[in-house]
Amino acid sequence: MQDLFSIAGKVALVTGGSRGIGLMIARGYVEAGAKVYVSSRKAEACEQVARELSARGVCAALPADCSTEAGCRGLAEALAAREPALHVLVNNAGANWGAPLAEYPDAAWDKVLALNVKAVFHLTRACLPQLEAAARPGDPARVINVGSIDGLQAPVLETYAYSSSKAAVHHLTRVLAHRLAPKITVNAVAPGPFESKMMAETLRKFRDTIVASCPLGRIGEPEDMAGVAIYLASRAGAYLTGAVIPVDGGISTRHG
């Protein structure tokens, strides 16, 4: 039982790992003994986070733009040049776009779907050789997709492309789980409100309302996200695939 939640020695790649949910997961993995590669579009931010986390464990930067198929392939190739096997892929990189219905632009759909949905598909596919190389009987490789409770229920704000994209991520998770078993498990986490740059404006306007609507009565903390990500990457989560886990203090139980 001592090793049930251990991820020591595993190699993980976290996209969008320089801030927000991705950084929470990357930090948790590093502190739990995994070798973590953080990726984001901004190389400087990526390098800064890698330096910071290297003081706590093993972390390196792999900057990439995952909004294109070529960018995803390039990231997978950069990882393959450094590691023969990838135990955990966290597809977290994402974008949001809010605007009133009458003004919601077509460009929002292109940008948000490219990064939030297509990148999950392209990067997972590009990393398959390294994921398959990491798989062992009883200990499959893991893909963890970051969805959102906005993909489970109608969102408060007018983020049409974002909420639709996260619902797509949840279903793509199920489809890939079916296709990639038994060597690779594919699960999604659906975060509720956490302190992040993407959530900053929403929390500024609606913090009290959100806290009041949450059965557990608070905003999510980094340990909450790190905990579920470690569970999914460890032996404890080895028999789970195709699941979408709300990490939202119970908010979606009222609206889902």
Taking residue 220's Cβ as centre, other Cβ atoms within 10 Å add up to: 22
Per the structure block, which two tokens stand in for 153? Answer: 């229920």
Among the listed residues 164, 176, 150, the one whose alpha carbon sits nearest the alpha carbon of residue 116: 164
**Residue 27 neighbours by CB under 8 Å, 6+ apart:** 53, 56, 222, 226
**How crowded is the C-beta side of 132, counted as CA atoms within 13 Å?**
9
| Nearest partner of 145 among 116, 125, 107, judged by Cα | 116
List 104, 162, 231, 239, catalytic entry? 162
Nearest to 64 by CA among 38, 31, 29: 38
CA-CA distance, 245 to 170, in Å (whole number)? 10
162 is annotated as an active-site residue: yes
Q: Which residues are CB-contacts of 223 (< 8 A; sequence separation ≥ 6)?
A: 28
Residue 112 · residue 95 · CB < 8 Å? yes
Tell me if 221 sits within 8 A of 130, measured CB to CB. Answer: no
Contacts of 211 (CB under 8 A, 6+ apart): 217, 218, 219
CA distance 191 to 20: 11
Element containing residue 3 per DSSP (H, E) = none
Q: Which residues are catalytic?
A: 162
